[in-house]
Chain A
């Protein structure tokens, strides 16, 4: 059962496995035999033996002890000599503790990919992919009753319900979703849009939440005579084969970012009833950090990622456009989902005077928020409109909200991704890394944009980023900013 790459796979699978394993070999702890060293030990005698081994220890001591035991006793010495492998396992386990999609361990290869994406280089399908968590309220009493029983059983097994996203009143499901496709990249060409939930890959279901819940729903329906026995059998068998043939989100992610063969996906768009099918021809794709053009007197600047080059490119774009007499700007932040906080703030400083641009909360259970500030004088002068979509995520949402709140910029497009969690990385000497949630962003006036995202002032379908000269969303944004100037 034990540990695969489970970055996206919440601990929900553990209790299932634990139950399956329950009654395993280790239970017979009061019968003792070890070759010629066989000793029959009474349980309480054993207890005393145990007690003698129980000095006060820190958690770290416990870790040392387990490590030392493994090093000394584990049957395959070659598996134990690789300390890096054990370290990876430990860090992966530590990350799982948080039950947080943004806290995960990345091996060097994976971390290199992660950093390349910030710089705009993508492999595979050419899109950032994220875990979306959706909390479904439980509406039926029967289901609530079943969930209470399930939780009871988990508690008896020593499992923590926080790990599985279940309470008697809600079920948290995690979906693998396309966050931001690279314009012109494989996913974009195949027609995928930001926010598409990837439910099937190459015909296999992406196991993004505890499948037991689906079983529970079917069983509950039958127990309460909502469906017939035949319907129950059919539903049950269908679920079973779907689960048996599924792939984990970790495997899915690996496939999406490194496959060289065509990938068939089925996605759910806008939580609709229909699945949309697409075939993606994977390959390398590049995202230009920033591009610009002159839309007949209105400046268009697209910021695709906050990488090292972004600030310089945007600065020269502003300068060139202003030298042509432009003083209204469409800032296109669509499908911008990666970057560093430092670059985002520097770039924002080109548009806003010094002061607070957002607030950050560093600890979940502490109410204090501290302001995130920029320094210096802006370069761009004039009116701004910000173009956003469901791929406008995290730092880009901070950027857009700051322009809205500090400079009165209107947001045009779709609602944003609603991802306010600040993510830091802790890099290890071998270039593996722990990625972890280090805080939560709020807008400069303290608004929480988690979940729902930022609502556009002017709604227009803006999923696909196209050539600005012919992109209807850009045209709409231009109209809005022109109206500001003339009005």
Chain B
């Protein structure tokens, strides 16, 4: 069974939605000043002909608002089923937005929005692990340091098959997470199947739920002859830049000769932090370009005061779950020749959304701009030299993860090994 991509269960961590927080843009302008177009449209239907032209002159073009308005009248009066005009309209809006074929441009019904809000409020805590989906339950992808999980001895690749005695096969990951979560201090019993070589053992752990923060930064000097520093950046939260800077300072004190910056599985976060992180490596250079509808480029530059020369080769590790802010940093560091990208092609989340609230708690999300790297590579998708369409950023050195990779065991990490190899070959060439 192939894995379908890790979902970082931040809810387990009591920190809501870090794992799912891509960089979301808001057009402040649009929130405070209702667009003039809308104001004009409010005077409908008298203004219809002014805005959309006279009805008879449309030829084969179907003016959207007019067409929908007519169709709704027809369906309300003639359809066998009685019509709830609000729900009908929501459905039509979903359809209209769906016609654009952009998964991020979509309509969000009120209940879905509310459910997510309740989730984000989060007085729930968990046991401290990120999970991958599996038809047989859930796979522990990454037990977090100092979490109840780790203290009890749960390991990466353990298969969770029961929660409080209940079989969780076939459940959604979200549902399993909901079962694991609970109030701080309470207990949950987790049944595990662990496969060693070909033997499978069944284990049971009783864990006390507690608050666990997803670490922002983890760092160490890798074992090996060359003193290569390793920093893993797990999220772009408010502390990301500061913590990464501290980590670099510590590593440099130890005299590292190269650096691996690991943003694998990092789903992104705040754009300001993407700029902050890039600024640690680049002196007053462009980090990312946002291009909106009008084609106008909005270039974000690195912050000169953050910059410190890093006189050692750097490799950035990326994979298919490095998204958004991770891609911005990777793109900037590569384009300005600060780092080599190693790993697998990144996720390709180079779209900026604005969220507009509507009436009864429903809202719409519209893709309003695209992210480009400093060299104008569209992060979302672009064509390579052969005209092949590429999603995300392609690494300079491509290497797939080894099958028996286990989190925390460097010797099983083929991508890290490759990054070290790349850096080693560069040591001494850069001053």
Contact = CB atoms under 8 A, between A and B. Distances in A.
Contact of B293 (A50, A75, A93, A364): A75
Interface of B is mostly: mixed
- Looking at B20, B113, B115, the one whose CB has the most chain A CB atoms below 10 A away is B20
B305 interface: no
B255 interface: no
Given A93-B92, A362-B80, A66 B111 contact: no
B7 interface: yes
Contacts, number: 333
A38 B272 contact: yes
Contacts of A487: none
Interface string A22-63: 111111111111111111010000000110011101111111
Contact of B74 (A26, A31, A222, A426): A426
B351 interface: yes
Contact of B359 (A27, A57, A155, A219): A57
Contacts of B272: 33, 38
B199 interface: no
B296 to A, nearest CB: 11
A8 B116 CA distance: 30
Given A22-B174, A428-B62, A363 B82 contact: yes
Contacts of A86: 64, 96, 99-100
B1 interface: yes
A96 interface: yes
Nearest to A41: B26
Interface of A is mostly: helix
Interface string B49-66: 000000000111111110
Interface string A1-35: 11100000000000000110111111111111111
A205 interface: no
Interface string A59-97: 111111111111111111101100111111111111011
Interface string B307-344: 00000000000000000100000000000000000000
A422 interface: yes
Contacts of B108: 26
A335 B292 CA distance: 56
Interface residues of A, number: 105
Interface string A240-256: 10000000000000000
Nearest to B289: A35
Contact of A153 (B72, B94, B175, B369): B175
Contact of B358 (A65, A67, A90, A223): A65
Nearest to A224: B167
Interface string B119-150: 11000000000000001100000000000000
B84 to A, nearest CB: 8
Contacts of B88: 59, 94, 97
A439 B88 CA distance: 19
Contacts of A219: 169-170
Contacts of B29: 37
- Looking at A38, A215, A237, the one whose CB has the most chain B CB atoms below 10 A away is A38
A2 B81 CA distance: 25
- Looking at B19, B28, B95, B364, the one whose CB has the most chain A CB atoms below 10 A away is B95
A236 B169 CA distance: 11
Contacts of B103: 1-2, 21
Contacts of A223: 167, 169
Contacts of B172: 19, 153
Contacts of A97: 83, 87-88, 91-92
A437 B83 CA distance: 12
Contacts of A166: none
A344 B136 CA distance: 57
A116 B352 CA distance: 46
Given A69-B364, A72-B37, A222-B169, A27 B67 contact: no
A234 to B, nearest CB: 12
Given A2-B98, A96-B91, A97-B91, A61 B170 contact: no
Nearest to B323: A25
A100 B81 CA distance: 10
A237 B135 CA distance: 9
- Chain A to chain B: the 5 pairs with minimum beta-carbon distance, closest first: A93-B95, A89-B99, A158-B111, A219-B170, A3-B98
